[in-house]
């Protein structure tokens, strides 16, 4: 197990580049102008600092005359990309099924998985997926305590973790939480930094173990280890750990943490041992274009402000009711320049209104947005391009090919890890809570297709197949209702049979005439 030593430099030096990049992506995802300016200016002395100083958000506006008359605006396209990524994965929830339940009554495993969903499993997954799209990945942790009747999952952001991989698989991870100083210094004394380190590792038997440690140090040093009871946040853990500060329950095969990469391969950190196995952010390589988008948008807004109709007047005409000079940012009359000769005397008032370069700015923004969306791996249609009429699945796939391709890549990373997470939840459930009859290996995860036919198109196709008698009733029901499971399809087939008892023309016979009835 890799260990963190007391007094170590913090954060670890091998994570400096990774944390700097994550901080920048987080700023764009959050979209706060003050944070964007602070993050870009903070990074000006690092690699690429000159480039950042030339960026819109990297410029220095220290002098009042250099600042714009309005606060800079931010176009939240980065946040839209990350949110869209999460919605593509979990907007239509995946089907969590148990293999042995196919057409059979629910099992204890299936009922327990449904209870996990009711507890907010999918909500945690979609929240984590959005964070992971911004930071390149996220950690989902199986959690339990004495206030819950079953395990649940929690999310830890990638910028709070120090992971260790072997052959691409997570073997250990340390989560670091910054805590408030329980005894803050009053005055100009040194600031004390308290940190809670939660280490997940495998013991010699391959079982997942969790260690909790509390450190008191400085901003740049981890400091010395302290008892868990010395801080109110970690004090409750003191009764749950052994002499080695390790949790004594939930000792089952495999880590209690699963890492979900957003995309692979990792281009930016492939030469860094600490980062090559991490996922890739949807915003990787887009900060320059995003900065140009904000610059163009603010230039457009500046045109709008400057295009307000105004009048240039002589100085003696710009006075308030008391005869004092006045200035208002939104006033319609401003002091004019002194003119020569008869021009100034004959033109005491001159109207001025600049044109708004609408077409130029709109075209530039459209081009930037298209390039950003394409570079992120999505189709423009995913972000609001309108289409008239009802489209079939084939037409949807054609217009959103890039988006569907990116979604499929993410699903291939997401599905096996979600299954591993559910297996660990069920294992912990049986070990910690004593739940009987659970079979973790039976869990199956399937992400639905988001580009399905419209109900009209599906019904038309089913009708054609039924008329040609080349598909069974079960196949037709499943085609019209692709979101139904096997049990729902079977029940619908049975209802159709009851509504249509005549299944063969041979089953019908004309009524027989009575023997004594004369023929006409």
Say what the pLDDT of residue 61 is. 59
Query: Cα-flanking dihedrals φ and ψ of residue 157, to 5°?
Result: -70, 155
When comparing pLDDT for 318 and 147, which is higher?
147
CA separation for the pair 256, 253 (Å, rounded): 9
| Model pLDDT, residue 331 | 61
Q: Which of 91-105, 329-343, 429-443 has the lowest mean pLDDT?
A: 329-343
pLDDT of residue 388: 46
CB-CB contact of 70 with 301 (8 Å): yes
Query: What local confidence, expressed as pLDDT, does residue 463 receive?
Result: 80
Nearest to 130 by CA among 166, 82, 97: 82
pLDDT surpasses 60 at 282 = yes
CA angle 446, 277, 213 (to 5 degrees): 95
Question: What are the structural domain ranges in the chain?
Answer: 287-391, 453-502
CA distances (Å), origin 256, targets 129, 157, 249, 422: 18, 15, 12, 11
Q: CA 278, 279, 282, 284 torsion: positive or negative? A: positive
Q: How many CB atoms lie within 10 A of CB 62?
A: 7
Q: What is the mean pLDDT of residues 120-141?
A: 97
Q: Which residue has the higher pLDDT, 3 or 307?
A: 307
* Share in percent of the chain as helix, strand, coil (round to 5): 45, 15, 40
Spatial separation of the C-alpha atoms in residues 235 and 223, rounded to whole Å: 19
Question: What integer pLDDT is reported at residue 255 of this predicted model?
Answer: 98
Give percent of the chain above pLDDT 90.
56
Residue 318, pLDDT score: 63
CA distances for 11 relative to 213, 224, 272, angstroms? 16, 15, 16
The segment with the largest mean pLDDT, out of 267-271, 386-390, 492-496, 497-501, is 267-271
Q: Which of 499, 501, 495 is nearest to 481 (CA)?
A: 495
pLDDT at 329 over 60: no
Beta bridge partners of 247: 241
Q: What band does 9 get if pLDDT is binned at 50, 70 and 90?
A: very high
| pLDDT for 260 | 98
CA distance 235 to 480: 56
- Each residue's pLDDT tens digit, 443-473: 999 999 876 556 676 677 778 877 777 788 8
Q: Which range has the worst mean pLDDT, 68-82, 117-131, 256-270? A: 68-82
Higher pLDDT, 345 or 212: 212
Give Cα separations from 519 to 98, 323, 509, 510, 516 (angstroms).
Answer: 66, 122, 20, 16, 9
Q: Is pLDDT of 344 > 80?
A: no
- Model pLDDT for residues 190-205, shown as the tens digit of each residue: 789 999 999 999 999 9
Spacing of C-alpha 373 from chain mean position: 16
**Quick one: tokens of 173?**
């991870």
Q: Return the pLDDT at 288.
A: 93
């Amino acid at each position: 197990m890799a260990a963190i030593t007391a007094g170590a430099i913090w954060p670890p030096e091998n994570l400096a580049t990774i944390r700097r990049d994550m901080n920048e992506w987080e700023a764009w995802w959050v979209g706060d102008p003050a944070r964007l300016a602070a993050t870009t200016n903070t990074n000006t002395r690092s690699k690429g600092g000159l480039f950042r100083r030339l960026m819109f958000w990297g410029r220095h506006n220290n002098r009042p005359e250099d600042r714009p008359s309005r606060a800079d605006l931010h176009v939240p396209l980065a946040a839209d990309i990350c949110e869209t990524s999460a919605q593509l994965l979990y907007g239509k929830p995946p089907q969590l099924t148990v293999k042995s339940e196919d057409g059979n009554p629910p099992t204890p495993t299936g009922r327990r998985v449904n209870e996990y969903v009711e507890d907010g499993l999918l909500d945690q997954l979609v929240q984590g997926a959005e964070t992971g799209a911004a930071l390149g990945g996220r950690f989902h942790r199986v959690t339990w305590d004495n206030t819950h009747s079953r395990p649940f999952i929690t999310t830890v952001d990638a910028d709070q973790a120090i992971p260790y991989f072997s052959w691409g698989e997570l073997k250990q991870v340390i989560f670091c939480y910054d805590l408030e100083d329980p005894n803050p210094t009053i005055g100009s004394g040194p600031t004390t930094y308290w940190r809670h380190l939660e280490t997940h590792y495998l013991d010699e038997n391959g079982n997942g173990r969790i260690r909790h440690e509390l450190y008191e140090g400085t901003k740049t040093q981890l400091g010395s280890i302290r008892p868990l009871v010395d801080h109110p946040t970690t004090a409750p853990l003191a009764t749950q750990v052994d002499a080695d500060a390790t949790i004594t329950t939930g000792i089952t095969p495999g880590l209690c943490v699963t890492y979900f990469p957003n995309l692979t391969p990792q281009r930016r950190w492939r030469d860094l041992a600490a980062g090559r196995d991490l996922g890739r952010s949807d915003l990787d390589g887009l900060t320059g274009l995003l900065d140009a988008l904000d610059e163009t948008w603010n230039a457009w807004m500046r045109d709008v402000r400057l295009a307000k109709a105004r009048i240039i007047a002589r100085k003696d005409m710009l006075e308030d009711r008391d005869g004092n000079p006045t200035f208002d940012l939104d006033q319609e009359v401003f002091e004019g320049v002194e003119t020569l000769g008869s021009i100034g005397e004959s033109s005491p008032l001159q109207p001025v209104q600049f044109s708004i370069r609408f077409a130029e700015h709109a075209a530039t923004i459209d081009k930037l947005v298209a390039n950003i969306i394409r570079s992120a791996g999505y189709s423009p249609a995913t972000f609001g391009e309108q289409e008239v009429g009802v489209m079939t699945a084939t037409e949807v796939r054609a217009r959103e090919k890039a988006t569907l391709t990116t979604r499929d890549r993410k699903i291939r990373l997401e599905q096996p890890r979600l299954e591993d997470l559910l297996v660990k939840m069920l294992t912990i459930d049986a070990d910690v809570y004593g739940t009987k009859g659970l079979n973790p290996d039976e869990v199956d995860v399937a992400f639905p297709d988001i580009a399905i036919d419209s109900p009209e198109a599906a019904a038309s196709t089913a009708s054609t197949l039924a008329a040609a008698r080349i598909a069974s009733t079960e196949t037709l029901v499943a085609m019209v209702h692709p979101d139904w499971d096997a049990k729902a399809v079977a029940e619908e087939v049975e209802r159709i049979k009851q509504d249509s008892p005549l299944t063969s023309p041979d089953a019908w016979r004309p009524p027989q005439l009575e023997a004594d009835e004369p023929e006409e």
